[in-house]
Amino acid sequence: MDELDKNLPDDFWRKTFDEAAETPPPRVWAAIERKLDESDGPKVVPIWGWGPASSRSLFWGSGLAAAVALLLVGWWLVNTPSTPPTPVAHIQRAVPSENVAASTKRTESSDALSTETSPADASTTAANKVIASSGVTSRLKAERSPYNASTERIAAVKDASETIARNEKAFDSGFAALQQHIAAIEASQRTQSVASRMQAVAYSASQHAESGVQAFGSAHEAAFDKLSGKPMRLRTIGAIQRIVWARPVEVDMEPAMIKSKQKSRELWASVSMMPGSFNPTVSLKTAQPSFSNTMIASSTVSNQSAVSSRASFSVAYQAGAGVQLNDHWSVESGVGYLSGRSTVETPAQQYLASVQMDALTNRNTGLNNLYTDALRSSVRSNDLANAPQANYSGLAANGFKSAAPYDSRSIQAVTNDYQFVQVPVQVGYQFRPRKKLSMAVLGGLLTNIFVKNTVGEALVVTSKDGVYRPVSLAATMGARVRYRPSRQWSASVAGVYQPSLEAGTTADSQVQTRPTSAGMSFGVDYHF
Amino acid sequence: MQDEYELVEGCRRQDRIVQRQLYERFAGKLFVVCKRYIHDPDEAEDVLQDAFVKIYRHIDSFRFECPLEAWLKRIVINTALKAIRKQKPWEHTADIQELAPVLPQADESLPSLNYKYLLQLIQELPPGCRAVFNLYAIEGYNHPEIAEMLDIAEGTSKSQYARARGLLQQKLQSDKRFADGYPAQGRSE
């Protein structure tokens, strides 16, 4: 180890730079902001460098394939056989198009062409004669514009030249003469007037047309055959043939501020279990006009206030979903199942008090008591024998259901097992939004759908019996703490209190309940 | 101080204010990281800028599996290494003897020795061995990891580190404050 290493501790460099900081210049943030603004706009995604195309081998493979394709196309273009030119095409090439175009342009100022008294009048006349012999003179005369005149004269030259081509005797001299006159036209572009050029062409045409005029006949019609297409050929490399300036369509620029921030509302689904306590708060009506058991009303030993219920263990399961409206507010709903147990303490009938006393608890365990009798009496059909909805387990047949008064000294404990389907709708307010550990208060309504109540494991009262309301409302309120370690998952613990807002039994029922439940809910949430 | 979770969530929402808060909180430290790897100040600013743009665009990939600062630092280092690779520092490594041990102008008193002095020493290193030195001595990577990160042979990483250490040794030994051992540590401004 060298001297430096001996002197410096291992973490010297690390410690030195651990907390080192230096404020970057403001332009860095400005540039970052600019780039972020640019990235918010529409992106042009290149086909390379993205997704599966980002691999280097694929990139080079694509380039190679493109090169091969270009070579094949080029080879095909070069080797495409060109169709043999027709005589008309040959003549067309023999007469440079630029000369024709030039002559056409220059005829604009040659209105006096037909009336000009130049020495070439004779040749013009001769050309007209040739045209007239082919039947075109009448059309030429009708259209006296200089453009038409010059064009038709060129056509006449073509016709005459074709005639020459078909006449082997006149071909050599005629074609040579035509070339001479074409050269003369080229020379005359710089020095002579349009009139003299056209006259020279007409003159030469007339000179040689005369020799082949006999063979002309109807052969001139072939001169107007459709031109054959030219094969594709590559242009000269490096030569700029044409520049096309194109202006792209301008896209309307929208101010960045107008862009609405479309934040997706956060959704979550949750399952929870809530162990707690459930107390139906049972009482009996003081006025019992429909109570068939007159012994209760008249008995001095029975006391309705002695009927009471104690809360017992309950458990609720719930599956729900929620939506975060903004940072603080949320709406939640779901469906749940509540199984709530409770114990009702009620005076027993005196007849049974002595025989059904529990030795240990000093409580009567039979089902002939004020509470169960009241329940039975509350069933829509008071005729117990004709009450098929309720399972009375044969007690009704014992015949002593109302035979004895109730003894308040003999308290009977009757277990009740309520079952509800619950549909909560509640609103939440979060105090620490978007933090790992958040807290919220919840409040809302709970719809309790009564399923059944099993009394003493023998008497089953369902919603069809008319004792309990099929649907009753309760309030729900509580506080929830949610721990969210990841983006998707969170766990929550909530304390919930759910007092009923209305009686759980029907108005004409002898038994009145007002259930209340409370507990701690443990849940797992999945955030979308 | 703002919670990291809140910062990350704000950046995920592309909230510009929160993005600015994240920048202000970490840009100072990360700028020094850039300067450790990149000598040219303008280029270091460019690297910092590119790194932050990457951070904002890929903030969704941060899963709180490590401290946020470590994640940010890793992105800055990767961006800096990418910039260094473009310079191909391994192809024109000068001989140690050719590099004159230019000692930065530091204060005479030991307590004034701060990171700027050492940063200047590191910046004087050739780019290749500067990167290796930073990764090995400061970031704590080992040579196989450095070789993978820089796409070089492990032996090259070792030799570059030895070279960096030799250069720093030359410079520090010429500073009399190091003659007796560990210098007083200065801290950031």
Cβ–Cβ below 8 Å for A35 and B36: no
Chain B interface test: which of A11, A13, A23 (most B C-beta within 10 Å):
A13
- Specify the DSSP class assigned to residue A472: E
Per the structure, the complete domain to which residue A111 belongs is given by 88-222
Cβ–Cβ below 8 Å for B178 and A33: no
| Residue A30 or A123, more confident | A30
* Any A CB within 8 A of B40 CB: no
- Least confident segment among A402-411, B135-144, B148-157: A402-411
Last residue of a domain, which of A186, A201, A222?
A222
Do A160 and A309 lie in one domain? The reply is no
- Categorize the per-residue pLDDT at A135 as very low, low, confident or very high, splitting at 50, 70 and 90: very low
Last residue of a domain, which of B64, B87, B110?
B87
Cβ–Cβ below 8 Å for B138 and A14: yes
Closest residue of chain B to A263, computed from CA coordinates: B13
Q: What is the dihedral of CA A220, A224, A229, A235, to 10 degrees?
A: 80
Candidate ranges A6-20, A41-55, B129-143; pick with highest mean pLDDT: B129-143
B151 sits in the region (left: phi over 0; alpha: psi -120 to 50; else beta) called left
Average pLDDT, chain A: 68
**CA-to-CA separations, A458 to A420, A427, A497, B142, in angstroms, rounded:** 19, 40, 30, 75
Chain B residues in contact with A1 by the CB 8 A cut-off are none
pLDDT at A20: 86
Chain A residues in contact with B187 by the CB 8 A cut-off are 19-20
- Identify residues of A whose CB sits under 8 angstroms from chain B CBs: 2-5, 7-9, 12-17, 19-25, 27-29, 31-33, 35-36, 39-40, 261, 263, 434-436, 485-487
Do B107 and B161 lie in one domain? The reply is yes
- Least confident segment among A29-38, A150-159, A294-303: A294-303
Q: Is A233 exposed, middle or buried (CB count within 10 Å of its CB: 0-12, 13-18, 19+)?
A: exposed
How far is the first Cα of chain A from the last one, in angstroms, to the nearest whole number? Answer: 57
The residue assigned the tokens 């270091």 is B44
- Least confident segment among A84-88, A447-451, A495-499: A84-88
Structural domain count of chain B: 2
Instruction: State whether residue B30 is helix, strand or coil.
Output: helix
Chain A interface test: which of B29, B61, B120 (most A C-beta within 10 Å):
B29
Do A172 and A291 lie in one domain? The reply is no
Give the Cα separation of A476 and B131 in Å (integer): 62
Question: Does residue B125 surpass a pLDDT of 70?
Answer: yes
Do B97 and B175 lie in one domain? The reply is yes
* Any A CB within 8 A of B163 CB: no
Do B133 and B71 lie in one domain? The reply is no
Do A309 and A214 lie in one domain? The reply is no
- Least confident segment among A144-153, A425-434, A478-487, B44-53: A144-153
Instruction: State whether residue A217 is helix, strand or coil.
Output: coil
Give the Cα separation of A202 and A131 in Å (integer): 10
Do B76 and B95 lie in one domain? The reply is no
Residue A45 in domain: no
Give the Cα separation of A103 and A149 in Å (integer): 11
CB B75, CB B37: distance < 8 Å:
no
Whole-model pTM?
A: 0.37
Question: Does residue A247 surpass a pLDDT of 70?
Answer: no
Cβ neighbours for A65, distance < 8 A, ≥ 6 positions apart? none
The encoded tokens of residue A155 equal 């056509």
pLDDT at A444: 92
Chain A residues in contact with B115 by the CB 8 A cut-off are 16-17, 20
Element (H, E) at A142: helix A137-142
The arithmetic mean of pLDDT across residues A256-261, rounded, is: 42
Structural domain count of chain A: 2
Cβ–Cβ below 8 Å for A29 and B23: yes
- Categorize the per-residue pLDDT at B27 as very low, low, confident or very high, splitting at 50, 70 and 90: very high
| Residue B96 or A49, more confident | A49
Cβ–Cβ below 8 Å for A13 and B173: no
| Residue A327 or B35, more confident | B35
Question: Does residue B75 surpass a pLDDT of 70?
Answer: yes
pLDDT at A397: 38
Do B155 and B175 lie in one domain? The reply is yes
Cβ neighbours for A252, distance < 8 A, ≥ 6 positions apart? none
- Least confident segment among A234-248, A340-354, B76-90: A234-248
pLDDT at A459: 80
Question: Does residue A87 surpass a pLDDT of 90?
Answer: no
Cβ neighbours for B4, distance < 8 A, ≥ 6 positions apart? B64, B67, B68
pLDDT at A335: 92
The CATH number of residue B37's host domain is 1.10.1740.10
Instruction: Say whether the ipTM exceeds 0.90.
Output: no
Give the Cα separation of A179 and B53 in Å (integer): 73
pLDDT at B165: 87
B28-58 residue pLDDT tens: 999 999 999 998 889 999 999 999 999 999 9
Do A361 and A479 lie in one domain? The reply is yes
Q: Is B16 exposed, middle or buried (CB count within 10 Å of its CB: 0-12, 13-18, 19+)?
A: middle
**CA-to-CA separations, B136 to A14, A38, A134, in angstroms, rounded:** 10, 37, 100
Last residue of a domain, which of A222, A245, A278?
A222
pLDDT at A422: 92
Query: Identity (one letter) of the amino acid at B157?
Result: S
pLDDT at A171: 52
Average pLDDT, chain B: 79
The CATH number of residue A343's host domain is 2.40.160.20
CB A167, CB A187: distance < 8 Å:
no
Do A293 and A211 lie in one domain? The reply is no
Q: Where are the alpha helices (DSSP H) in chain B?
A: 4-12, 16-37, 41-57, 68-87, 115-123, 127-133, 143-150, 154-173
The CATH number of residue B179's host domain is 1.10.10.10
Per the structure, the complete domain to which residue B170 belongs is given by 90-189
CB A443, CB A368: distance < 8 Å:
no
CB A174, CB A159: distance < 8 Å:
no
Identity of the residue in A4, A9, A15 whose CB atom sits nearest the CB atom of B172:
A4
- Categorize the per-residue pLDDT at A95 as very low, low, confident or very high, splitting at 50, 70 and 90: very low
The arithmetic mean of pLDDT across residues B93-112, rounded, is: 42
